[in-house]
Amino acid sequence: MVIPSRADALSPLHSFMITGKRSRITSLLQLIGKGLVWLVILGLSFWAAGALYFMLPFARPFGAALYAIAVLLVTGLIRPIRKAIAVLLCLFLVVLAWWLSIQPSNDRPWDPELLKPHGPTSPATG
């Protein structure tokens, strides 16, 4: 007498239910992963638009708006979506490289209330 193995004992319906559950979990994990990737891309895009808005020496709103339009066009027009994500990351890296190349300066007009005197201000230190 031949004893069936566990795999042979499973009915086709039971086997389908097991693989269906695994594919649902896999699909859910893929969906969560894609959502996290888009959340990161969205955050990087907001940061880049903000950097352009606050640090661009000329046409601040225009630069931020142009970046936002570029993000929307890339997202809507480039397929497959992996290429769109790669292009968006390259756009962000260009803005990041520009932002990191900005030399710090202290020659902007300060509000008189915010000016701090140079040197000691305590009566004890004179």
- Please report the pLDDT score of residue 119 as a whole number: 61
When pLDDT is cut at 50, 70 and 90, the band that residue 24 belongs to is: confident
Name the residue ranges covered by the structural domains of the chain: 38-100
Highest mean pLDDT, choosing among 16-20, 69-73, 105-109: 69-73
Average confidence score pLDDT of the chain: 82
Q: What's the pTM value of the predicted model, to 2 decimals?
A: 0.67
Ranges of H-type helices in 1-126: 6-9, 12-55, 60-77, 81-100
- Please report the pLDDT score of residue 91 as a whole number: 97
Q: Looking at the predicted structure, is the pLDDT value of residue 45 above 90?
A: yes
Q: Give the residue with greater pLDDT, 11 vs 62.
A: 62
Q: Looking at the predicted structure, is the pLDDT value of residue 89 above 60?
A: yes
